[in-house]
Every structure is written in C-alpha cells, then in structure tokens.
Structure 1
Amino acid sequence: MRGLSGDFSTMPLKDLVVYLGNRRVTGALKIERGDVRKQLELRDGHVVTASSNQPREFFGQFLINMGHLTEDQLEKAFGTQAQTRVFLGKILVMTGLVPEPTVRSTLSHKFREMVLDAYHWNEGQFSFEASDSAPEVAGLDVSVDLLDIHREGEFRETAWEAIRAVFPSGAVRLSVDEKKLPERKPGSMDERIVQLIKDGLSINGIALALHATDFFLYQRLYALYRLDAVKVSDAEPEPETAVVVEEEQDTSVIGSESSSDEVLQAAQLFLDAGNVRDAEALARRAHEMSATPQSAEMLKTAQARLLVELRRELSEPARVPALQVAPAHLKTLALSAPERYLLSRIDGRRDVAAIVQVSPLQELDALKFFQGFVDRGLVKLAPR
C-alpha cells in the first residue's frame, strides 16, 4: 500500500486505525478538521512520533497537566532547548527535572490522546503516505501500537456514555461538597479542580485552565461524581460563545450583509493597505461564509501577517504585562474563559512571550487577546 486518503464521513478514524494497524504500515498519517492538524509517524503499525497544532496536546502541556512539571520549569527547559536544539524530553532527563520513565510514559500518553481525541470526529480529512524505511526518531524512542490505541478507544466509548449521562455539556457549571472529597495534596489535580469549581468556571473553563484534554478531565470529574463530591450545579450554564468570543459585529461593517466574494475582496484591499487586523477579521468572516481554497489562502496569509505584527508590538523586544485594574474588578467584567486564563498568568515577572508559550492557546489567539487587554486599558506593557 503506497497511499490512502479520504474523509471521516466515509471512513471514521477508528476504522482507519484498525486498517493501518492490521497492515503494520510504515509512513506518515495526517489528520485534520478545520484549523486542527495532527501528524503521526508510524513504524510497523506503531506510533513513534506525533505532533499537533493544538497547544493542549503539546508534550510540555501534558507534563504540566499530569503534575510532573511546573510552568516555570517548562519555561526554563524551553530556554535550554532554544540554545541547544536538543529535544525537550532529552533536556528534561539530562537536567534531572523529570525521570526518563516518566518522560517515556507521558510521551506514550500523548500519542494515545492525540489519536483518541479525534475518534469522534464526524468530519475532516486524512491522508497516509507509505514509506519504505522507518522514520528516524531524534528524541527518546517510544512507540505505541495502533491496535492498542483502538482497544482503548472501544473502552472509552462505553466510558463516554456514562460520563455524558452525568455531564451533558462542557458549558455546565459544577458544585462541590468538600466533606465528601478524598484526601488531596496541595497543588494536586483534584485540588486545582476543586478550586476552579469554587471559582464558578464551567467544565470548558476548567479544561482550559488546566491545559487538559477532554477525557483526562471528564474521567476525573466522573470519579469525584461517583463519590457524590461533585455534581452539576443549578447555576446558569456558560454561554456557548464564552469559550471563543467574537466581537459583536456592527451591521454597517463590511461583511455583515455582503457576499463572501465581496468580503474577500475587501480583505485583500485592507491587506494591501497594511491594515492587517481588519484584513484578518474580514478574511475569517469570508471563510466562515463560504470556505473555498481562495478564502483559506487569504485567511492563512492574513493570519501570518497579523502574527508578525502582533509579535513586533507585544513581544519583540520582550515586554512584561502589568494589570491596571484590581483583581476584584476583573471578576465583574464580561470576560471569556481564555481571557480570564491569560489575565491570571500575569505576575509582573513573565513577559508576554513567556506567558503565551506555556498557555493552552494558539499563539495568534493569545496575542490577539493581549492586544485587546492593552486596547481596553486592562493591561500595560513595560520593557523587561
């Protein structure tokens, strides 16, 4: 078999995993849905490396989420990596921050989660390119059998049925009975979950604050539910728009009633004039109205230009953000979960780039939020 491609509406990922696993293939598997892209390198039916553009699926985020590393330690490890070009896992082992068995088990967990997170995609595309030779692994040699991943996926289908019967949506808020909680260590995952529940976050907000993949968080919440320590609150669920908030559109703005072609043309005009922010907003609107190769290319170009501009304005050279309003006042503002997360990371010490680097958000999205903070007077930037 030299190659294979298709979409998940005709061949679900779980069927593809079994197909490739049984044939013990070697090569590269790419899967994508919307803006989410993942790539797996396979050797004899085993995943040997995996990458994703979702920050919550970065290796460092898994280490933080599982309690093996702090954000400060990860930030220092990234600094060493930038100087040495050595893979992160090897740096952590060499410096003694994380034992090698822990690094290996976390990498294995990452490979599994990246695949299983996409098991329920009903849309999206995949492509597999076979190779005659096994890919070289520059980091630690870790592999996970595709068939083992599939067997775990079958177990999770049953688990998700039970979980969804209790937690029907990520928008719901929770309540906690601390008297029924098991003993927990300070800084542990359960301790952090409890505090975020008390802060009034929805499950979606908790997942963002913890850098957590869905199954990792939901299985822990379900375990606490079984102890009668956590349940769905009577509080109003979080609006679906609260996780990724779009600014309200003025009906007089180009794109409110125009055709997608007109919006795309306007985006090009703004881009040519150097107005990158409005160009990116219009390109995104055009792509949402009618996704075409032209709109996708325009959006990609505008986003790349905007990323360069925001980096220059916010983090090159390094700038340290400082809150300009009292934390108590922040709680009264209508902020999205990503906004509250980023504001909570401001400590007067870390610069914008450092906060963005260890956040569970895409770099462009995080920088756009920071620009909004500055524009609204919530944050002031000062040179390091």
Structure 2
Amino acid sequence: MSQRFRIDGTQLVPDERQGTQQPQPPALAGRTGSFVLQPTSPDLLVFSRTPAEGGSLPTPRVVLSGDASGFPLSDLIAFLSQARWSGIVRVQAPGGERSVILREGEVRGATSDVAADRLGEVLVRLGYLERTQLETVLREHPPSKIGRALVERGLLQAHDLFKCVTHQVSEIFHAIVLCREGSFFLVDQPVEDKLGHNIQLSTQSLLMDSIRKIDELAHFRKRIPHSRLYVLRKGMANARLEPDEDKVLALVDGRRTVLDLGQGARLSEFDVTKVVYGLLEGGFVQLSDKPLGGSMQSLSGIPAVRPKAFMGIPVVRPSSTGIPTVRHSQSGLRAITQPPQPAPVVDVREVVHVFNRIFREIAAEVSKQGLAREFIASANAALSGQALSSSPVLAGLAFAPDGSLPDAKLVSAYEQYRGSLGSEPLASFRQALSDVMFFLLFQAGELLESRADEDLARRVKDMLASLGGS
C-alpha cells in the first residue's frame, strides 16, 4: 500500500488518516539528502536528488510520471505498444482513477473506480440488462461476481458477457487516451498469467478507435473547453430528445458541472460531453464558470481548446488486405521505434495442432466441475453467431465434445481463404484462433476457482510458447 502525505501549511507531513493499523516502514527511509522540487501541475509533486546518487527499487515501482495536460497519452501508449512493454499505465484525473494493463504491448485488462465504468453500468447501457435486474443481482452478489451470477441465472449468455467485458476494457482505454487533466504513472510490475478477465485486445486497433474520438472531442471543445464548467438551463425542451439527452437535461440544475452530469447519468466523460454539446446546439442549456446564484460569466466566446497533436509515433491497424494503415502526426515526424519483429514461420498444421491442444486442455479443466456439456454448447453458440471472430476460416465449424475444432476442416479453410487473409495469412489465421482461445479462457474463468484458473492460464501459456510470441 502506498503511503500518503499531506501538505499542512508549508510542511509535508505523513497523512495519519490512511485507515490502516498495519505498521509500515518509513516511506522516506534511505532518502536523506538534498532534493529539488520541480515545477509541475498542481496535482503532482516531483522531487529530484541533487546531486544524483543512482540506485533502483524492486518492483512494483513507478518508472515514469507526468502531467496528462502536457503530454498526449496516446503517444506514450503507442510507444509502449511498439516497445512490447509490460506493466500498468495508471491515470489519476478529476473524474477518477483508471488503469490499463499491458503485456508485451497488448492490452490485457483495465480497472477503474469511476461508477460509469462498472460492468453492470456497461451491461445496462448496451441493453443487455435492465436497471431493475442489475439492482436485484447486486443486492445478492458483490460487483466482482456479477458476470458469473448473471450467466448462472440465465440473464446473460457467456459470449455476450465476453463482449461486454471487452467493451468495458475498451471504454476505460479510450477514457485514458482522451484524458487531458491530472497525472499519469507508468508502473513497472510483473503482469500475472491470470490477466484480469483473460482479455487480449490490440493496442494499435484501440488507438485507431481513439483517434476518431479525439477528432470528435476537438469539435466539442470548441464550445466546451473542459468538463468543470457548470451547465444551466436556457429554455424549455419542447423538441423530442434522445434518451441520454433527456436523462442529462433532467439533472441540469445549474449547480452541476459537465463531469457531475456524467456521473449522475452514468455516462463516460466523452459521452456526456457529446450530449451536452448537442443540448448547447439545440439551445436547451448554456455554460458558466460559476454555479447558479454566483457571478455568471458566459463562455461562448472562449476559443476552441484542441487536444495535443500526436508526436510522430505512427498508429498501425492491420487491414483486411494486410496493408497497414498509418497515421502520422501533424509534425510529420517518422516513427522513433522499430516495428515489432514478425513471429517465427510455423506450418499451419502445427498452429492447428497447438491451438487444439489448448482448447482440449481448457475443456478438460471445466469438465472437472461437471460443466463440460454447458461449456461446449455455449462456445458453439458463440462460434456460430460469429461473436468470437469474423474470420471466414471459422465459418461453419463447431467444437467437438472434447473442446477441439476439426483439424482437417481448419487446414482446408485456411487454404481456401488464404488469398483473402492479407499479406500475412498465417498470422491472421493464428489471430482468429487466439480470439477463440481467449473467449474459452474467459468463459472458463467464470466457472473455475481462482487457483485452478491461474494454473490453467500458466499451462496454456506454456503450450502457446511452442509457436513463438505470446
């Protein structure tokens, strides 16, 4: 647990309100000497020893920190992706704290203490669950067990839960990339084999999606420079509004900021900014830097505040043709890192053999719980509905009772569709099977005890290592 300090007048003193009875070693032990307080944003204190003495600390440790308003987090994450870095990117902003977990440059999970980011809220927003159903389940189960509880009650299919968790991680990632206030920290620490919900998402693809939101946000910032502005009613809402607009407008009382409205309506900062922008354009609300009753100042004349430009690190997203799409920053700088090395060349039959070993291993572990039939049925439902992958090589296939896919049909499908799988067809084929693998691991994680789930993840990792890469 990190120790806390507070500034009492001009003194930096330990914060005794940490709520723990466990004695901890002094946080500043071994730090005697002269330090310089560096000029930083109000949310961040940085001391540097002078002269420097060197040395290091064991993990977990912060290896980089900074001001989110002064450095685009998209550039940082793009660099970490290309460098295949493993660890945690943590962002503390006025709206809350969010973290994204990276392993070898790819997103493996995310956490958030923001109410709108909770899985239950995501399920409601996406229409998979009614608010009353969510409240009923939460009265009987902790939030960390809500996914399994919903599947067990038949309120949610396993592949839909997987889809929603993936969406949840994506939304937290986007919120981090869009952050323009607060502090960020790069935490060097081992990433366990059991990685959150066994999710793996392409960091480059997520960055490409974030670029669209960055462009949209730049447009919204022309009228809403930041989310701490107060929103006041301007006229009666006689026009027909969208559900989110109705929800937000009902909360407008002149004493809530844009950020407050988002928390009250269970919307992300990006989504509530978009809604408020629409209400501004419709003439239903106005903005002020003072709450209702204070000295109000119109902000309509404030010029646009645009997000920082990308700093030259290209964001690459594989296309269906295999030709990468590259976005350069306005500065025109080229990449400052080398592209990742291609995976070792492996025969397609070996790829099929290894992944089927993994699939059978997962199914065998689940069968120990007496749930093999339900597990395979759910996996086949997801596969037939293309919920796992849109790759044509999986079309028409089904899992056997032992959890495997038909070897000959997979190899035949690969040969049939090879020409449409891009410039690296075997990599695309492997990615499709990886998507299936992570779904099965996710589904198994909802059924197994923690120890069994972690042991399974380690065995799968060892099997996958025979193909090279991660």
Q: Which has the higher helix share?
A: 1
Determine which structure has more spread, i.e. the larger CA radius of gyration.
2
